[in-house]
Amino acid sequence: MTTSAIVGNFKICQAKLGAKLHDHRDPSSDLGPMLRQVVGTIFQLMDQYQDYWLKVDGSMEVPTLGKFAGQKAKAFDIDQANLVEYFKVGLNNFGGVWKNIIEAKDFKIIREIARIDKSDQFLMPLDTWVRIVYRYAGAFHATPRQRFKVLDTLTPLYYGRVGSLVNELRDKTPEEAEQHFEQNALAFERMKGYMVGIWKRKEE
């Protein structure tokens, strides 16, 4: 909806609706289907609107409507060890696929962090994650008949990234966590030229 509104040149704003409250349970079991649905949709929209987004440079703030509702989401436990283990199993199962899709330097990093024994020391570099997502977007675009099979092999890498985020956010306040995610988003924006280069090579 947001993407269609932007491409349609509608006026965009955001509304303060309060905290999005979920069941207080470990969300890791839902990450796979969520990734397939959300990222699959985004990658499809990249195909549909490529003539638009390829020309966009930078971003801007949009107006915010409403007042802060004062709700705070309650903390819940995450099985970080399971996230990291899923990532490691993914390397065993899909290592050959990953090697063909992502950059050699990032595949080397993936293999190195897979050897980390302690989950609380597990970190996936942000720039590595950005390049992986962008390479997968290019692979999704280039394989229309197998695109969701390709996308499914991204799931263990995403589990690894979430496992890394648990460590990155461990001692942060909600406000600091929000700023952390803003910096993540800015990294994707900063490296957009990398994505554009991949996309144009796939078009040749």
141 in a domain, yes or no? yes
Question: What pLDDT band is residue 185 in, cutting at 50, 70 and 90?
Answer: very high
Task: Work out the percent of the chain whose per-residue pLDDT is above 70.
Answer: 93
> What pLDDT shows up at residue 69?
65
8 in a domain, yes or no? no
17 in a domain, yes or no? no
Range of the domain at 144: 31-56+78-203
107 in a domain, yes or no? yes
Domains held by the chain: number: 1
What confidence tens digit (pLDDT) does each residue in 61-76 have? 899 888 876 667 677 7
93 in a domain, yes or no? yes
Question: What pLDDT band is residue 165 in, cutting at 50, 70 and 90?
Answer: very high
* Locus of tokens 């461990």: 170
